[in-house]
């Protein structure tokens, strides 16, 4: 069974659009990504993923620490490979970290972390996490060179970037992109890596994505948060109408 990690960042994106700068404790502030993470867990999520970005555009430190205290499943912290984030992760002790690119210099042509050009920083971070018992995943393109270097640097996990495949889904490139993911998953598995995948996975492409070999966990965010709006809007409007009539 493939595990589902729910990326809850976009709940915080919606909150920050209205309440940036307001204390997370203020009762006016909504939606709350921490309580929504608990709903995701109750609904079957096997883990929660949050990306504490350096620009703090969605998830805030207070979210991550509250989530760590309250959640029951596994916390996967996406982060840039910086000293500040490494220190934060070592204090927080999430179950895993996923190193992702945040600046242009760290990005490969397709958007995964370029572990080859950043090898010294990536290796230092993996070693610090290994010593603290935290699994490190590297968010990389389905590229043999990136996979081979992930092994050389001592990463136990990778997360294959499914964005190029998702973007090509309705084009003639879909089959080639899917084959790249299949080959990448096979290579990574043969080299002893645990293979996760994520980005752009939705309610349509999941039928094919779930046939990828050796996938341990899928991290899915945008489509789940978007779907929850469609499902919840009916109830939300009806409740407001009811209150207006009282």
Interface with ligand PXP includes 200 (CB under 6 A)?
Answer: yes
- Is 53 a binder of ligand PXP (CB under 6 A)? no
Helices (H), ranges, the chain:
9-19, 33-42, 61-70, 83-92, 119-131, 144-152, 163-167, 174-190, 206-209, 222-245
Both tokens of residue 16? 């920050």
Applying CB under 6 A, which part among 121-129, 141-149, 193-201, 234-242 lies near ligand PXP? 193-201
12 binds ligand PXP (CB under 6 A): no
Q: Which of 34, 98, 160, 184 binds ligand PXP (CB under 6 A)?
A: 98
Q: Which of 88, 139, 165, 178 binds ligand PXP (CB under 6 A)?
A: 139
Judged by CB under 6 A, the stretch of 17-25, 117-125, 203-211, 217-225 that binds ligand PXP is: 217-225
In the complex, minimum distance from the CB of residue 79 to ligand PXP, in angstroms, rounded to a whole number = 10
- Can 78 be counted among the known catalytic residues? yes
Checking 222-227 for CB contacts under 8 A at 24+ apart, the result is 222/7, 222/10, 224/6, 224/7, 224/40, 225/8, 225/10, 225/11, 226/10, 227/203
Of the candidate residues 66, 77, 100, 209, the single one contacting ligand PXP (CB under 6 A): 100
Q: How far is the CB of 242 from ligand PXP (least distance, A)?
A: 33
The answer to whether 216 contacts ligand PXP (rule: CB under 6 A) is: no
Annotated active-site residue in 78, 106, 177, 217: 78
Residue-by-residue DSSP string for 129-181:
HHHTT-EEEEEE-S-HHHHHHHHHTT-SEEEEE-HHHHHTTTSTTHHHHHHHH
Positions annotated as catalytic residues are 51, 78, 199
């Amino acid at each position: 069974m493939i595990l589902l990690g729910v990326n809850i960042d976009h709940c915080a994106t919606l909150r920050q659009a209205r309440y940036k700068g307001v204390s997370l404790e203020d009762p006016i502030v909504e939606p709350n990504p921490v309580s929504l993470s608990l709903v995701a867990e109750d609904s079957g999520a096997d883990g929660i993923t949050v990306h504490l970005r350096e620009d703090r555009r969605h998830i805030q430190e207070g979210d991550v620490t509250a989530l760590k205290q309250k959640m029951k499943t596994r916390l996967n912290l996406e982060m840039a490979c910086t000293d500040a984030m490494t220190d934060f992760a070592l204090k927080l002790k999430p179950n895993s970290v996923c190193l992702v690119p945040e600046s242009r210099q760290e990005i490969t042509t397709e958007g995964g972390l370029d572990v080859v050009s950043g090898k010294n920083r990536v290796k230092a971070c993996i070693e610090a996490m290994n010593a603290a018992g935290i699994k490190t995943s590297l968010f990389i393109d389905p590229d043999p060179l990136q996979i081979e270097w992930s092994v050389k640097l001592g990463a136990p996990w990778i997360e294959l970037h499914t964005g190029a495949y998702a973007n090509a889904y309705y084009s003639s490139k879909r089959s080639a992109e899917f084959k790249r993911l299949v080959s990448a998953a096979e290579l990574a598995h043969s080299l002893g890596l645990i293979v996760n995948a994520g980005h752009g996975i939705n309610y349509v492409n999941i039928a094919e994505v779930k046939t990828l070999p050796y996938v341990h966990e899928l991290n899915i965010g945008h489509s789940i948060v978007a779907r929850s709006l469609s499902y919840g809007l009916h109830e939300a409007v009806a409740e407001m109408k009811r209150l207006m009539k009282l």
